[in-house]
Amino acid sequence: MHEGLLAGIKVVEFTHMVMGPAVGAILAELGAEVIKVEPLGGDATRRLLGSGAGYFPMYNRGKSSICLDLKAADGLAVARRLAAAADVVVENFRPGAMDRLGLGADALRAENPRLIYCSEKGFLPGPYEDRTALDEVAQMMGGLAYMTGPPGRPLRAGASVIDVAGGMFGVIGVLAALERRHRTGEGASVQSALFETTAYLVGQHMAQKAVTGKPAAPMPARVSAWAIYDVFETADDDQIFVGVVTDGLWAKFCTLFGLDDLWADEGLRANNARVMARETLLPRVRAELKKFTKAELIARLDGSGLPFAPIGKPEELFDDPHLLAGGGLSPVTLDDGRETRLPVLPIAVDGQRTGGAATLPQPGADTRAVLAGIGMDAAEIDALLAAGAIA
C-alpha cells in the first residue's frame, strides 16, 4: 500500500450516500487522513437496505469518524475548527445548505486561505443548479439511460456510475488544486456535478452525431463498428462475449475456429465489409461457437489476442483469481465485525496497488482523538460531550 502518496494531507468531509464519500474514499486510499463528520447517531447511509446496503462499506473505509450536532452552536464551532486545520473539505449537501450553516466555501476559506473546498452537486452553476439530483436523475436526464436500454425503455446502468465518476472528477479537481497550491499557496473552490459528469460520459455519442449527422442509437439497437462484437450462447447454456475488432484478428478468429470458407471469402477481409454482411455472418458464427462449452471457448480464446469475456456477476469477483493475485481486493472489517474483501482503486503506482486492510469507522469512534489533534484538551472535549454537541 502506498501510504505516502498523500501523506500529510488532512481531509474533513461532510458527506452522505455515494458521490461525496467516494471523494474521501479515494483520497484516503491514496494516503490522506480523512475525517468523516457525521450527525449524532451516525450517517443514515449506514442503515440503508437493499441496493443501498453496500454504499457505506464501499466508500467509507479507512476514515475516522466524529459525530457533531451542526444545529448547535458548539457543534458548528467544532466543525469550523476542523476546517481551519484541514487541507481539503468535501461536502455533498443540497445547494446552499453549507452556506446557511456558515460552513460554505467563502466562510471557511476566509479563515483558511489554503483550503481546497470540494462541493459535489447535482448540477454545476446554471439554470438547473437548485434542482435535487440523484445518480438516476442524471442518467435519465443526460442521455445515459436512453443509450443503455432498448429503444423506448430507458434503463439506468447497473451501478452508481455517475455518483462514482462524479466523485472521481472531484478528486481530479482537488489534486489539481493541491498542485497549484504547492506553487502559489492559494486554496481553491472545486465543484463536480452529476449532470455534467453524465454529459461528459455520453460525449462520445454527441461527437458521433456531429461526425455522422445521425443521432446515436441506444446501445442494444446500435450498428456496431465491428461485425463480430456480441454475446454468444455456449453448448452448456452459458454465455461469452467475443469481439473481432481488427482485420488481423479476423484472420486469427477464422483459423482458431476452422472457418476456412469465411477466410477464403476475400469480400469479408475488410472490417467494414463484414459489418455490411453482419446479418448473414453472425448466424454462422453463432452456430459455430454454440458447439463449445464456456470452458472450452475460454481455453481456446485465452492467449489468442482476441477480446473475450465470460459474463460475470459481482459476487463472483470475491473469488476472481486475477483480482486475488494482483491485490485488487482488500480486507475490510464490516460494522458487525465480519471480514470481507472489497475492490481497491484500479491503479498501480510503482507496480504496487494502493489498497490495504481497513475497518469501517464506528459513529464517533474517533471523536476524542480527532479533537485532541486540533488542540482541544480533555476538559473541553468532556464539556462538549456533556452538552450533547458532539458524540
The tens digit of pLDDT for each residue in 308-356 reads 999 999 999 999 999 999 999 999 999 888 999 999 999 999 999 998 8
Cell of 356: 490495504
Is the distance from CB of 123 to CB of 131 less than 8 angstroms?
A: yes
| Residue 357 pLDDT | 83
Residue 267 grid coordinates: 469480400
pLDDT at 3: 60
What is each CA distance from 165 to 23, 58, 116, 201, 346, in whole angstroms?
10, 14, 19, 9, 13
The CA dihedral of 81, 85, 86, 92, to the nearest 10 degrees, is: 10
Please report which confidence band the pLDDT of residue 223 belongs to, taking 50, 70 and 90 as the band edges. Answer: confident
Q: What is the pTM (predicted TM-score) of this model? A: 0.94
Q: Is residue 1 pLDDT above 80, yes or no?
A: no
Return the C-alpha cell found at 281: 455472418
DSSP summary character for residue 47: G
Q: Please state, for a pLDDT cut of 90, what percent of the chain lies above it.
A: 95
pLDDT surpasses 80 at 27:
yes
Any idea which of 19-33, 52-66, 87-101, 349-363 has the lowest mean pLDDT?
349-363
Query: What pLDDT is attached to residue 67?
Result: 98
User: Is residue 230 very low, low, confident or very high in pLDDT (cuts 50, 70, 90)?
Assistant: very high
Cell numbers for 350 = 510503482
Instruction: Determine whether 302 is exposed, middle or buried from the number of CB atoms within 10 Å of its CB (0-12, 13-18, 19+).
Output: exposed
CA pair distance 337, 320, nearest whole angstrom: 24
Which single residue is written with the C-alpha cell 502559489? 184
66-75, 232-241, 244-253, 358-367: segment of lowest average pLDDT: 358-367
Give the three cell numbers for residue 364.
464517533
Band of residue 373 on the pLDDT scale cut at 50, 70, 90: very high
pLDDT of residue 88: 98
Structural contact between residues 92 and 13, judged by C-beta atoms closer than 8 angstroms: no
**pLDDT tens, residue by residue, 251-304:** 999 999 999 999 999 999 999 999 999 999 999 999 999 999 999 999 999 999
What the block records as the C-alpha cell of 160 is: 452508481
Q: Estimate to the nearest angstrom the gap between the alpha carbon of 171 and the chain centroid.
A: 11
Helix pair angle (203-212, 194-201), 10° resolution: 40
Residue 128 · residue 200 · CB < 8 Å:
no
* CB-based contacts of 78, cutoff 8 Å, min separation 6: 68, 371, 384, 389, 390
**Mean per-residue pLDDT, 171-195:** 98
Record the cell numbers describing residue 112, joined without a space: 483558511
Q: According to the model, what pLDDT value does residue 356 have? A: 83
Which residues are part of the catalytic machinery? 163
Burial of 213 (0-12, 13-18, 19+ CB in 10 A): exposed
Asked whether residue 2 carries a pLDDT value surpassing 60, the answer given is no
Cell of 16: 452522505
Please give the mean pLDDT across all residues of the chain. Answer: 96
Backbone angles phi, psi at 179, to 5 degrees: -65, -40
Whether pLDDT at 180 is above 80? yes
Beta bridge partners of 11: 34, 88
- Residue carrying the nine cell digits 459476487: 315
What percentage of the chain carries pLDDT values higher than 70? 99
**All structural domains of the chain:** 10-201+327-387 (3.40.50.10540), 224-313 (3.30.1540.10)
